[in-house]
Structure 1
Amino acid sequence: MTSADLALPPHDDRTLPAVVLRDIDTRPLDRLLSDVQLLVEHHGHVIVVCPQAAPTRVLRRLHTLRSLLESDRIAFFRPDLPPLAVAVLARQLRQLASCDLGPGVLASAGRLLVHYLHAGALLGSVARLDRVPVNLKQHAKSWMPGTQFAVLAHPQPQLVRFGPEAALEGPEFDTWMVTAKGQLTSDWVTGTLAPAWKVQGLHETALPAASPGWWGTGKLVEFCTFLPDLSVLYQLVTSVRRGTCHWCGIDVIGDRCVFCSATPPAHDGPPGSHASGRALAHRP
């Protein structure tokens, strides 16, 4: 993890602890390099969960670390999700890390589990919200005192003005919900939305430091629904067809290898051309 507040408490006794790479953009490079090298040597492979909205200087430092180590055993997972949802997804990967999944499959699993999250917030203003489409009328009403909005950022953007009839389309399967309160005082998420979505479990955590910036306001209550059961997560991941990276030989889900970034050749060449196909593999 690139931030300590994205490391949620374990969901069960099998959830592995998170390793936080603190102060990536400010700590001396040699110390960071030593820390990451020790992680790779100890665990074999490292999956770094870093939000898509992380500062550019953080991303540059991560790529610098991997380049200096010259390692294909470090994968970056950068989900385009609100901060609380990133934390939830990272915890699910920590749950799965206790199973008999290879590092390539585990690192690829995040792209699959994203589809089973519903992430949103109750906001006191959408005047500075740029992650979800806001029309001119909604933007104007946002300046009226006391106006609030129920927003869903994932999987499909939704934005409605808060009121007695306010509703958001939720998951069609059993989930749990985690909430995080900012400077907004409201029990609508836990008292109305959660029952409407028929969530099976509910708990609260601290608001991630990046949430006010992501949502454009500190007056919010952020929420995310997720699948909590490790057996269900494992079944989802293992039911997907696996492939083998033709470059580094690791098992993955999907076409792009999450560790070496190689993609399959455009087409199979004639017999005996395997070596040349490998040399022409795309490795951005």
Structure 2
Amino acid sequence: MALPAQDDRTVPAAVLNDLDRQPMEHSVDAVRTLLDRHGHVIVVYSDAVPAAVNRRLHAVRSLLESDRLALFRPELPPLGVAVLARQLRQLAACGISPGVLASAGPLLTHYVHCGAVLNSVIRLDRVPVGLKAHAKSWMPGSRFGVIAHPAPQLIRVGGEATLTGPDFGSWMLVAKGRLESDWAGATLAPAWNMAGLREAALPAESAAWWGTGKLVEFCTYLPDPLVLYQLVTSARRSVCHWCGIDVIGDHCVFCSATAPAGDEPVREAHTSPE
């Protein structure tokens, strides 16, 4: 899902549609065109997409024999993946090198809280669910507040328990499915002292990820490109010994090389947002 840009500097997203249903040569041509146009390509996608899509992306990367194509598949709910993709699009306009930008995704995941309001947790397999919660799922009108990242949490909406949110300034994005509930925006956002609230369409993979289409998905995020830029540019960097590009950490997301033991980092990380 490509979220709309929040400013006129955000780089537009290129959406690769129907990868699992089109001929291989069409997929290869689409990605080759993007590489020719932009030089480097970062594909951000959910782990809830069909397995055939994941296989197709890896096959395309192999056929192109390209070290300019990075695949980023974070273990986050679909709305969180969409938020990360937009943050990378914001950073792409800031002159950050391709290797640093492509390896910034895992760093930025630390600053999102992803969850949902669900009518049932019977089919939820991404977060530990106790027997009591399973039993209460059968009760009419039940609502559950769930956090999948950064740490699993599950409560029954309307009870005394609360969900723990971020301890730094954030905004909240809410995407409504087939569930009538304003709890995320009207109750949770004020409790977490959100600086702002916005709405988005529900990603196509959300129902599969959460185990039900009756949900309201939400995600907190850092909206300011300057803060994102400071986080990424102050992170520990190294130079890939194989392809020579700058990366965050010791693993190159383009050529998949890992830094030899004993390599010294270029810069130390500072991971607290301003």
Counterpart in 1 of 2:243?
A: 248
* SS of residue in 2 equivalent to 1:14: coil
Any idea what SS the aligned residue of 1:185 has?
coil
Summarize the alignment of residues 86-235 of structure 1 with structure 2, pairs less than 5 Å apart: 86-235=81-230
Distance 1:31 1:151 in 2: 39
User: 1:164 offset after TM fit, Å?
Assistant: 4.8
2:95 aligned partner, one-letter code? D
The runs of 5 or more residues in structure 1 that have no matched partner are 1-5, 269-284
Deviation (angstroms), 1:266: 3.7
Q: Which residue identity is paired with 1:15?
A: T
Question: 2:260 maps to which residue?
Answer: 265
Task: Give, in whole Å, the separation in 2 of the partners of 1:166 and 1:48.
Answer: 38
Amino acid at match of 2:81: V
1:76 aligned residue (41, 66, 71):
71
Q: Is the 8 A contact 2:166 2:192 kept in 1?
A: yes
1:58 pairs with 2:53: yes
Q: Distance in 1 between matches of 2:78 and 2:37?
A: 28
Whole-Å separation in 1 of the counterparts to 2:84 and 2:206: 15
User: How far apart, in 2, do the equivalents of 1:63 and 1:237 lie?
Assistant: 27
Pick the aligned partner of 1:35 from 30, 40, 43.
30
Q: Are 1:179 and 1:222, in contact at CA under 8 Å, matched by a contact in 2?
A: yes
TM (normalized to structure 1)? 0.90
1:48 corresponds, among 19, 43, 65, to 43
SS of residue paired to 1:59: helix
- Report the equivalent of 1:277: none
Q: For residues 61-84 of structure 1, what are the alpha-carbon distances to aligned partners after superposition, in whole Å with 9 as ceiling and x for unaligned?
A: 111111111111100001000001
**Structure 1 ranges of 4+ moved more than 2 A:** 265-268
DSSP-derived class of the 1:114 partner: helix
Q: How many residues align structurally?
A: 263
In 1, Cα distance between equivalents of 2:225 and 2:259: 31
Q: Distance in 1 between matches of 2:65 and 2:183?
A: 50
Q: What is the TM-score with the length of structure 2 in the denominator?
A: 0.94
Say whether the 8 Å CA contact 1:177–1:223 is kept in structure 2.
Answer: yes
Give RMSD over aligned pairs.
Answer: 1.1
Please list the CA deviations of residues 156-188 of structure 1 after superposition, one character each: whole Å capped at 9, or x if unmatched: 100011115342100111111110111111111
Q: Which has the larger radius of gyration?
A: 1
* Aligned counterpart, 1:19: 14
Unaligned runs of 5+ in 2: 264-274
Structure 1 contact 150–166 (Cα < 8 Å) conserved: no
| Counterpart amino acid of residue 183 in structure 1 | R
**Does residue 67 of structure 1 match 2:82?**
no
Q: Identity of counterpart residues, as a percentage? A: 68
8 A Cα contact 2:48 2:208, kept in partner? no
Per-residue deviation, 1:202: 0.7
Instruction: State the 1:145 CA deviation.
Output: 1.1
Q: Distance in 2 between matches of 1:195 and 1:92?
A: 24
CA distance in structure 1 between the aligned counterparts of 2:49 and 2:257, rounded to whole angstroms: 24
